[in-house]
Chains A and B, each alone.
Chain A
Amino acid sequence: MSVATKTDKIQRLAELAATKETSTGASLWREAFRRLKRSKMAIIGAIIIGLFIVLAIVGPYIAPYSPTAQTWRDEVFANRGEFVGMRGENWFGLDHLGRDMFSRFLVGARQTLLVGVVATLIGLTIGFLIGGLAGAFATLGGETGRRIDSVIMRFIDIMLAMPSLLLAVSIAAVMGQSLTTVMIAVGVVQIPIFARLLRGSMLAQGSADYVLAAQSLGVRKRRIVLSQIVPNSLSPVIVQATLSLATAIIEAAALSYLGLGNPDPAIPEWGVMLTQAQRFFDNAPMMAVYPAVGIIITALGFTLLGEAMREALDPKLRG
């Protein structure tokens, strides 16, 4: 075969093979993010959450009226408690004390977001520490480690065994009525969920071959846990955190509804607003609808994003 044809054929082969693009150095996180960007669910969820966050930030500044001032008090009282619906100056109407519902809704978004985020952060941080510790002991701690792990997990089981609302009510009862109480109560309820999730995920990763490989390389145990096991165990925790934001908002609303929330009813929060609307549900249902729809849509946003993340992070769906 002549040299010319040889180069020709190599070139031709390279040409044909070149159509297949080879990925270079895309980590799993980056790939997951790429999949997330393609997911319609994630986009809708992100838009909802984005709007909600914007609302929480700018709400108090764009509110047309003061959320606490009972500006139209006399009008409402004159109507003998009749609900004043939508109208030009009050888009969402007035509440039972003659306050502008629209302003209260806008300002309430911030409190609601705060409760959700702080509560989830409390649950996530403490749950992560406990679960991570238990997981580390269980996977690499040997016999003693497994014993420590069982002790920690029995404690978590006890927490998990208590009905979450009851737990929250007891915490609120001890700590008194305040927004902080609600946040802590909701957060504490999340602790065992995060702890169990991380530990379970770590246990599954702990028996993976690459952990065995790291051990046989002589990598120190602490490093195996921190740089091998934990990063690979994060996915379900991240998904759970997103989903937890949704439940945290709903649970905070439930606690507020039970009257355990912020003692100052003047400060608007969607859960509190829902509670207040309850008394007037028969003749003023719209008063409940606005905060309820707000909570539902926000929770939906977080749930959508969480589900999309679950899919994006699932290694089985890689490709």
Chain B
Amino acid sequence: MSETAALNMQDIPQRQLPEHLELQRTRVFCKADAPVHTEDVEYSGAYAAIGFDNSLQVDDFRRDFRVEVKNLSMDVIEFDMIGIDASLANAFRRILIAEVPTMAIEKVLIVNNTSVMADEILSHRLGLLPIEADPRLFDFLSENDTPNERNTIVFKMEVHCKKSGPRLTVKSDQLKWLPNGSELLMESPNPSTKPRRFTSFSRSQASSGRPIGMKHRDIIITQLGPGQSIELEAHAVKGTGKVHAKWSPVGTTWYRMLPEVKLLKEVKGNDAEKLVKKCPVKVFDLEDVGHAMKKAVVSKPRDCTLCRECIGDGGEENIALRRVRDHFIFTVESTGALPPEVLFTEAVKILEEKCERVISELS
């Protein structure tokens, strides 16, 4: 982009920013040495002198905001969120990681563990296993609550490796769901009273909805040598990723701004071929312009990974790498408790709830 001196600027039409300012407002410039204009201009009156209104209007937002799902599979969704501020997109990301609740094993009651793995580490590994259970059907278990069918899922694991057999790999499918709650009896100081169980389920969880289990059945938990055995009960409760990463519903979730690759000059012939070859993700393509001449065109800007190969060594004169400031390519990788698209709506709900809380606090 050529920069013009202020005095030489042409008369500009009102209510519109000059080209370079408009670019600065809407794009992040990924220069070879550092990105510039990464921060957007938030103040509504920033361009008031030119007569440009920088404020955000709800109607405009409603009109311009779009979501385009690009890719959806069992666990991963990739969609474009267009016409939104980075702070909002980031809020969704943050809520997805830390505040959307899931179920995860929190308490492990070990009856017997003769494996080489220490109890604490075994429990830690169990805690990280994703559980296929809709967290919306459960309540949070607070400190004074008794564990019941509304807030606790109980699993049981009993594995034994035969004395004369080979080593046994314990996988997550060894965890068996106990819809009727804990089977272990609490040790009571007074032997005369009837011993209590660790949970008090009033009805079976099996009656309501889908059966609960591990999301993946092939996660290796530990290995047992001949003669070793593990017997335990694992209690899963609802929680959020803020407390521990095991409750995070996503492996990770992130966004990137839409890449924009612009050829500032025409790149022809040998240079074009070089350019095409340079890019490891094939952003550029060749186009015939006749006379056996070829010119480079930008074919897949979305694939740009910002390796900056094309703008090194003076390439910056020919090519500009930019990011569109209000266009987010959002990816959610679910761990499996909920489908990724549901997770996102959950995140939206949480944000909504928070806003309502703020409004009610203020009024």
Chain A partners chain B = no
**Residue positions of B touching A, CB distance < 8 A:** none
**Residue positions of A touching B, CB distance < 8 A:** none
